[in-house]
Homo-oligomer: A and B are copies of this chain.
């Protein structure tokens, strides 16, 4: 490829998802991913620490995006609404990359180690969200509960969306799930 590698990162991600789907995560090497993407192994390691990181680099972006959106919401916005809007906006980004997100999800679900890693990342996101709410002046345990409510909605909305072949709009599913959570917690 030479030194000019337009969107090497994107092609590595796509190649990795293809290979994980074809051979399984454990049976795929970084060298094979690089070859499929048409770049050198060295280029792979300039972008990712290891093959697992190809699947989880987006988790850090999701964390930073949601935490940033909650932090930057106007002070007058109630905590649960700041969280709902942040999660819905993150859903919008996922919606744009629906096919890649679905391919990644299938790989993660097929592998217990990756599923545990995913749970750890979501737990890390819950902690970051709690801190962002504390930073807005929300006291404990309300900060923690609001963050956990947001994570509950995120998980349920994501599962509903990813399983639906018609392809519902994720931000809409997120907002509907927040309304549903309000209904079920009030005992309606």
Q: Which residues of A contact B (CB under 8 A)?
A: 78-81, 115-117, 119-120, 123, 140-142, 144-146, 148-149, 151-153, 155-156, 159-160, 177-178, 180-187
Contacts and interface: CB of A to CB of B under 8 A. Distances in A.
Copies of this chain present in the complex amount to: 2
A81 B181 CA distance: 14
Contacts of A117: 116
A129 to B, nearest CB: 12
A82 B148 CA distance: 20
Nearest to A148: B152
Contacts of A120: 115-116, 119
10 contacts: A78-B187, A116-B116, A119-B119, A119-B120, A141-B156, A141-B180, A145-B153, A145-B177, A149-B152, A149-B184
Contact of A149 (B81, B123, B181): B181
